[in-house]
DNA sequence: AAATTAATTGACAGTTTTGCTCAGGTATGT
DNA sequence: ACATACCTGAGCAAAACTGTCAATTAATTT
């Protein structure tokens, strides 16, 4: 039961982006340096984040990435969904229409309930929450 | 974010064991046949379940496995712990003493909170719950 | 128009984890 | 003694994970 580093990277990168963007585009190179994540790997992640309507890109000099929506409206579960990290604990429940084994599987309800809790929790946290927290930690360590 | 099949098998096997044991030992061979899980794989799982004080073994002819404690006192999270399936979503939090990055990691609280929810949910379900549910489903389909 | 910057994309490779088998062993009841 | 059934460790194939490399496209500045 591990959250992949891909998902962890994506969340970290998004917080960093929001933290250092004053409304102007942030380059992946900057995020790469600050978060010690390989630039090319970040590129992969941001393609997916863009498709997931989490960020939008600005090309050319002075370009980079911006939030596609206000940070308050971006939930952590959306970020993870975008990088194609399933939040459902068992594979038979990948399709939204539920799995066939509803009746037979004794353990079905366990995993279904678990999936709900995970989703619920990660949806309750927004990028704004995390950014504010990061801001607090930053000012603390600078004092 | 997947629950490994190992953990899924372990839970299924435990329900099946409890369902078909009338106080007498149940052989892995029986569970293997009923749940379509490889016998040798089950053997591996049950070594760990025994070490985790979930089951106890009876050797020799007529032997097999028994619950080490009443089903009401066996929680699903204990079963999963026994087969060495980490319930903590990120590796830096494997040790109980917490990870070093408490202060730096912005995302630390997210994963920590998630881990708590997962643990809390799986601890709220006992083997007795699952067995009763299985019993219900069984009698329903037989009517 | 040319050069520069930076996003975009696809292929692919090394490593780790997972899921499972095989080949033995050991203990216990009859 | 012998059958039963637990016990153990080695090993292996497939998948997933974590990236890298190479090449392209698009926008901006000069």
| pLDDT reported for residue B142 | 74
State the Cα–Cα distance between residues A89 and B58, nearest whole angstrom. Answer: 34
The yes-or-no verdict on residue A8 having pLDDT over 80 is yes
| Chain A residue numbers touching B113 (CB-CB < 8 A) | 121
| pLDDT reported for residue B33 | 92
Q: Which long-range contacts (CB under 8 A, 24 or more apart) does B86-94 make?
A: B86/A1, B86/A2, B87/A1, B87/B115, B87/B118, B87/B119, B87/B122, B88/A1, B88/B115, B89/A1, B89/A2, B89/A3, B89/B1, B89/B114, B89/B115, B89/B118, B90/A2, B90/A3, B90/A8, B91/A2
Of A1, A103, A133, the CB nearest to B1: A1
Question: A63's torsion region: left (phi>0), alpha (psi -120 to 50) or beta?
Answer: beta
Min distance B22 CA to chain A CA atoms (Å): 19
What digits encode the pLDDT tens for the residues A39-75? Answer: 989 999 999 999 899 999 988 888 999 999 999 999 9
- Region B38-60: mean pLDDT is 93
Rounded CA–C1' distance between A4 and D2, in angstroms? 52
Nearest CA in chain B to A81: B1
Mean per-residue pLDDT of chain B: 87
CB proximity A60–strand D (7 Å threshold): yes
Residue A104 tokens, joined: 């037979």
The residues pairing with A21 across neighbouring beta strands, listed in sequence order, are: none
Min distance A112 CA to chain B CA atoms (Å): 11
Say if A85 is an interface residue toward chain B (CB within 8 Å).
Answer: yes
Mean per-residue pLDDT of chain A: 86
State the Cα–Cα distance between residues A132 and A138, nearest whole angstrom. Answer: 10
Name the 3-class secondary structure at B62.
Answer: coil
Cα distances (angstroms) measured from residue A63 to each of A22, A33, A50, A57: 13, 17, 14, 7
The yes-or-no verdict on residue B73 having pLDDT over 80 is yes
Structural domains in chain B, sorted by start: 5-142 (1.10.10.10)
Contact criterion met (CB below 8 Å) for B6 and B48? no
| pLDDT reported for residue A59 | 87
State the Cα–Cα distance between residues B55 and B50, nearest whole angstrom. Answer: 5
Q: Comparing B44 with A106, which gets the higher pLDDT?
A: B44
Cβ distance of B8 and A86 shorter than 8 Å:
no
Of A1, A107, A113, the CB nearest to B87: A1
Say if B76 is an interface residue toward chain A (CB within 8 Å).
Answer: yes
Q: Which of A7-11, A60-64, B121-125 has the highest mean pLDDT?
A: B121-125
The yes-or-no verdict on residue A103 having pLDDT over 60 is no
| pLDDT reported for residue A4 | 86
| pLDDT reported for residue B22 | 83
């Amino acid at each position: 039961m591990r959250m992949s580093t891909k998902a962890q990277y994506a969340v970290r990168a998004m917080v960093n982006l929001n933290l250092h963007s004053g409304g102007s585009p942030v380059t992946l190179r900057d995020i790469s340096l600050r978060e010690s994540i390989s630039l090319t790997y970040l590129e992969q992640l941001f393609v997916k984040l863009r498709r997931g309507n989490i960020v939008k890109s600005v090309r050319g000099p002075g370009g980079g990435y911006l939030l596609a929506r206000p940070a308050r409206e971006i939930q952590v579960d959306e970020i993870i969904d975008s990088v194609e990290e399933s939040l459902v604990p068992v594979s038979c429940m990948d399709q939204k229409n539920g799995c066939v084994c509803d009746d037979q599987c004794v353990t079905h309800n366990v995993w279904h309930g678990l999936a709900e809790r995970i989703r619920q929790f990660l949806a309750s946290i927004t990028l704004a929450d995390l950014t504010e927290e990061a801001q607090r930690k930053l000012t603390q360590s600078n004092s």
